[in-house]
Structure 1
Amino acid sequence: MPSASSSGPLAMAAPNATAAAAAWTNVSTPEMPLFHLFAVLDGELHAAFPGLWLALMAVHGVIFLVGLVLNGLALYVFGCRTQAKTPSVIYTINLVVTDLLVGLSLPTRFAVFYGTRGCLRCALPHVFGYFLNMHCSILFLTCICVDRYLAIVQPDGGRRWRQPACARAVCAFVWLAAGTVTLSVLGVTATGGPCCRVFALTVLEFLLPLLVISIFTGRIMCALSRPGLLRQGRQRRMRAMQLLLTVLVIFLVCFTPFHARQVAVALWPDVPHHTSLVVYHVAVTLSSLNSCMDPIVYCFVTSSFQTTVRGLFHQRGAGCEPKSCNVVGTRKSSKNSAHRHILGARPRALTQALANGPEA
């Protein structure tokens, strides 16, 4: 554990780091919010494992650059090139915004560590942005799975719930709920009994959505396995099944490590501090990686998206409007091409790949 005599940025934040570490190891200290603990962990990792800290910062730098470019492009495609704002498109746009949010919070992390020297208030944008993105991504992914379930398995009964106005209301609620949960988690004290509250929030905001996603994904896959449900051929149904499994795998890889670590700390507070510190930073990196994994997988799995992007650049060079630039066709005759255009990865792909179901 770093001491007050440590050099560098950690020295300026030593009192806070010491108190946070004591709270982490369940030592009696004045009550302090978890936000203070999360805000000083960069300094602790830099003091204890400088090589690992530099490696993770390099990874975060790549995440920022890749996520900013690809999510910016995705936001332009879905926001400007998509004319039919279906519920699936609305959820997708909100997911792109959450990915941009966590990407833009990463430069704040560098600035706080190197520039403000342990200022806790200055760390708020990064810490709050990270947790808000994680909660919003989980909730929006759950909404998308429910929307796909209604569109494919319950097309008649769920039609009234699959309206753009309803989707906008759900998105507003998700942002409000995620912000409330984030402030609640960061505001609880890091000592004693309140850990039960952190444990409950972690389980509810992760395990319950995971259960919903798993069940609805299974139901959707069963529906896709019935030849008479959709008009698409066997190969298309198989691609959709692989897509759903990919969504679930990425969800587990990106979000499970952080929540598993939170539960472990709540159940076993005597876990060695350095072990918990390393696991925390690796889990945060995996969770942040989600912000650039979505558009990367979407670009490389969906050839039609690549065609759309190439069409955008070709349009600038040739001054013409290629048909492939329309992500969602505005005419009924373009419906089939819109179907072919969307078999990508995780949330965006899940949104677009099955958005144009039998009734969409």
Structure 2
Amino acid sequence: MLRKMKTDSSMEELILNQLVLNYTDSESDYNAEVIGPCTFNIQQSVKNVLSLYVHSIICILGFVGNILVIITYALYKNTKSMTDIFLLNVAIADLLFVLALPFIVYNELYSWPMGQVACKLLRGSYSVNLYSGMLMLACISIDRYIAIIHAHRHFRLRLLSYNFLICAFVWVCAILLSIPTFVFYQWYEPMNGTTVMVETKEEEPTLTAPEYVCEMRFEDSETAKTVKVASPSIQLAFSFFLPLIIMIVCYTAVIVALMKARNFHRHKAVWVVLVVVVVFITCHLPYNSVLLYDTVSMFHLLPCEEADAWQTALTVTQSVAYMHCCLNPVVYGFIGVRFRTNLKKIFQDLRCLGKNRAKQSSFILVEQLH
């Protein structure tokens, strides 16, 4: 009796090796069956659908939206505030994220044919952009707090030179937090990518050729356990809880200050702040809640059906979290009046450029006819 096993963890590969060794050492004469980790069929089906449709839409919308934000802030903003610089960095992080997403999806569904260096760069850049984007959002909330609550010290505290130092510090922190990703992601030929066969009396063993993958790999089970717990814990702490706490504290003070002001534009700004917080929580709270449960119960034995349900929930909520890179340009950019004005200017300039080229082409054609 044989069972096909498909997993994405090198820690499970270590367990599988031990199972095969234990069976090889035994001298039993009866038929044997290797029982491996759960196959997660439902999760795989859901992942296939999400990768084909939802992730494709995320990549397209995220690419277009963040490109517009980068062009607008880089070329059409003469005076750039601290918030403008932070938004530009968020757009860069989100753009790099959506560019890496198709390759990550392909690796998860199929294999990774591009080698070790590309594997580490892909996963490492994904992690760096995740941390930098979330920390930049926290910086924006602090900047809004200083601009509104401490308006009398506004220009002294918000010097542009400090802004570039803060952005550099955030990117360095993101790289440091991503070191485990750069170290432990490997390009290798997994044992769990094959159908593992155990010889019995009735049939001969067969072995299918594995494909190379880009996944975390560990030399021993203790390192695997440590990293498997530490990596999501760091992600939860610095890419969700820290930005969330900063946003709640800063924006609560901002809302209180704005509500006291009898000004239509101030009250409109309150709704913008609420939209920012609600969108962030809606996108990231479900995924991080499931990730927290998955981390806490990682080494608890669950029935395959229950484990499959939780892995499916993790896949779905992760896709919801990915949507934030599409909504960031809308929430932080398109809502602003100045941004919309500059965006209209982009399309006007493109239209004028197109008309000028059309006139030049017509003039050249007329000259050739004469």
Query: 1-side partners of 2:165 and 2:17: how far apart?
Result: 43
Give, in angstroms, the shift of residue 194 of structure 1. Answer: 4.8
Q: CA RMSD in A?
A: 3.3
Q: Residues 91 and 107 (structure 1 numbering): CA distance in 2 closer, same or farther, change over 3 Å?
A: same
Give, in angstroms, the shift of residue 29 of structure 1. Answer: 8.0
Of residues 254-263 and 295-304 in structure 1, the stretch that sits farther from structure 2 once superposed is 295-304
Query: 2-side partners of 1:28 and 1:191: how far apart?
Result: 14
Correspondence for 2:92 among 77, 93, 97: 97
The letter of the residue matching 2:10 is A
Structure 2: runs of 5 or more not aligned = 19-38, 185-217, 355-370
Q: Counterpart in 2 of 1:10?
A: none
Q: Counterpart in 1 of 2:135?
A: 139
Q: Residues 152 and 313 (structure 1 numbering): CA distance in 2 closer, same or farther, change over 3 Å?
A: same
Contact 2:62–2:95, Cα closer than 8 Å, also in 1: yes
Q: Residues 68 and 238 (structure 1 numbering): CA distance in 2 closer, same or farther, change over 3 Å?
A: same
Correspondence for 2:268 among 221, 224, 239: 239
Query: 2-side partners of 1:88 and 1:118: how far apart?
Result: 38
Q: Residues 66 and 248 (structure 1 numbering): CA distance in 2 closer, same or farther, change over 3 Å?
A: same
Task: Tell me the SS of whatever aligns to 2:152.
Answer: coil
Tell me whether 1:204 sits opposite 2:234 in the alignment: no
Tell me whether 1:312 sits opposite 2:346 in the alignment: yes
Q: Counterpart in 2 of 1:249?
A: 278
Q: Residues 53 and 267 (structure 1 numbering): CA distance in 2 closer, same or farther, change over 3 Å?
A: closer
Tell me whether 1:183 sits opposite 2:179 in the alignment: yes
Give, in angstroms, the shift of residue 72 of structure 1. Answer: 0.7
Tell me whether 1:149 sits opposite 2:142 in the alignment: no
Q: Counterpart in 2 of 1:19?
A: 10
Within 5 Å, give how 1:203-352 maps onto structure 2.
203-205=236-238, 206-227=240-261, 234-269=263-298, 270=300, 272-297=306-331, 301-302=335-336, 305-318=339-352
Query: 1-side partners of 2:177 and 2:9: how far apart?
Result: 27
Task: Give CA deviations for 1:320-348 in whole Å, capped at 9, x if unaligned.
Answer: 9xxxxxxxxxxxxxxxxxxxxxxxxxxxx
Query: 1-side partners of 2:287 and 2:168: how far apart?
Result: 25
The letter of the residue matching 1:184 is P
Task: Tell me the SS of whatever aligns to 2:252.
Answer: helix
Q: Counterpart in 2 of 1:336?
A: none
Tell me whether 1:78 sits opposite 2:73 in the alignment: yes
Q: Residues 247 and 174 (structure 1 numbering): CA distance in 2 closer, same or farther, change over 3 Å?
A: same
Contact 1:132–1:182, Cα closer than 8 Å, also in 2: yes
Q: TM-score, normalised by structure 1?
A: 0.69
Contact 1:75–1:97, Cα closer than 8 Å, also in 2: yes
Query: 2-side partners of 1:28 and 1:255: how far apart?
Result: 34
Structure 1: runs of 5 or more not aligned = 7-13, 31-43, 228-232, 321-360
Query: 2-side partners of 1:50 and 1:263: how far apart?
Result: 21
Bigger radius of gyration among the two: 2
Query: 2-side partners of 1:101 and 1:166: how far apart?
Result: 24
Give, in angstroms, the shift of residue 154 of structure 1. Answer: 1.3
Query: 1-side partners of 2:225 and 2:350: how far apart?
Result: 61
Query: 2-side partners of 1:29 and 1:236: how far apart?
Result: 65
Q: Residues 62 and 87 (structure 1 numbering): CA distance in 2 closer, same or farther, change over 3 Å?
A: same
Contact 2:43–2:311, Cα closer than 8 Å, also in 1: no
Give, in angstroms, the shift of residue 148 of structure 1. Answer: 1.1
Query: 1-side partners of 2:170 and 2:60: how far apart?
Result: 27
Query: 2-side partners of 1:276 and 1:255: how far apart?
Result: 17
Task: Give CA deviations for 1:28-48 in whole Å, capped at 9, x if unaligned.
Answer: 989xxxxxxxxxxxxx76x54
Task: Tell me the SS of whatever aligns to 1:116.
Answer: coil
Task: Give CA deviations for 1:248-288 in whole Å, capped at 9, x if unaligned.
Answer: 11111222233222321222222543233212222321221
Q: Residues 193 and 307 (structure 1 numbering): CA distance in 2 closer, same or farther, change over 3 Å?
A: closer
Query: 2-side partners of 1:63 and 1:114: how far apart?
Result: 20
Number of positions where the alignment pairs a residue of Structure 1 with one of Structure 2: 288
